[in-house]
């Protein structure tokens, strides 16, 4: 999979974000209405990427910088948003590949922890995050009082080693 940093407003990102929003409708009955400003995903305070197979957009995900608040977020957190793989490309490890790339870029940008909110109706996501070392954390954000919401976090490497190094390129083969 070729992963390209494209920005949240890129046409391929917009298309995949619309698809993941429909996935939320199917699984939860409504779209995710968490406030998102596309500029939050611009470097160096965030990043949004699309994964391509044979030139076709098949996966997306991003992170945005978060700072301490009264609901468990810490200075230096990176919040994972809009992780998605199209149904036809699932089961091939693409979500894991995207997640690891997002973690590496967040660490390289100086972020210390990746945090996320997912839900009980996304068992595939819960399995992936558990396998990648994410652990339960205090609820934050818009859905913190919703019983279907699950909050997870993971400490990131310090970004100084090979895993966290950035090549400075806007896309890489993975």
Q: What is the pLDDT of residues 105-148, one digit of tens each?
A: 999 999 999 999 999 999 999 999 999 999 999 999 999 999 99
C-alpha to C-alpha distance for 86 and 109, rounded to whole angstroms? 28
Per CATH, the homologous superfamily of domain 2-173 is Gcn5-related N-acetyltransferase (GNAT) (3.40.630.30)
| pLDDT band (50, 70, 90) for residue 167 | very low
Dihedral angle at the C-alpha atoms of 146, 69, 17, 94, nearest 10 degrees? Answer: -90
Strands 113-119 and 77-85, sheet pairing: parallel
| pLDDT band (50, 70, 90) for residue 158 | confident
Look up residue 160 and give its two tokens.
């100084």
More confident of the two residues 7 and 162: 7
Q: Is the pTM value of this prediction over 0.75?
A: yes
């Amino acid at each position: 999979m070729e992963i390209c940093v494209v920005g949240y407003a890129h046409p391929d990102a917009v298309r995949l974000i619309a698809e993941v929003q429909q996935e939320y409708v199917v699984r939860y009955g409504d779209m995710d209405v968490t406030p998102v400003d596309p500029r939050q995903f611009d470097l160096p305070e965030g990043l949004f990427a699309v994964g391509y197979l044979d030139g076709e957009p098949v996966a997306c995900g991003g992170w945005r910088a978060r700072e301490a608040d009264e609901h468990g977020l810490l200075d230096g957190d990176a919040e994972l948003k809009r992780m998605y793989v199209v149904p036809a490309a699932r089961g091939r490890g693409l979500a894991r590949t995207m997640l690891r790339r997002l973690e590496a870029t967040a660490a390289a940008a100086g972020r210390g922890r990746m945090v996320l909110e997912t839900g009980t109706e996304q068992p595939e996501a819960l399995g992936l995050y558990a396998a990648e070392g994410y652990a339960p954390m205090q609820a934050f954000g818009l859905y913190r009082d919703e019983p279907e919401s699950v909050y997870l976090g993971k400490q990131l490497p310090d970004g100084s080693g090979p895993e966290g190094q950035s090549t400075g390129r806007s896309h890489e083969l993975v």
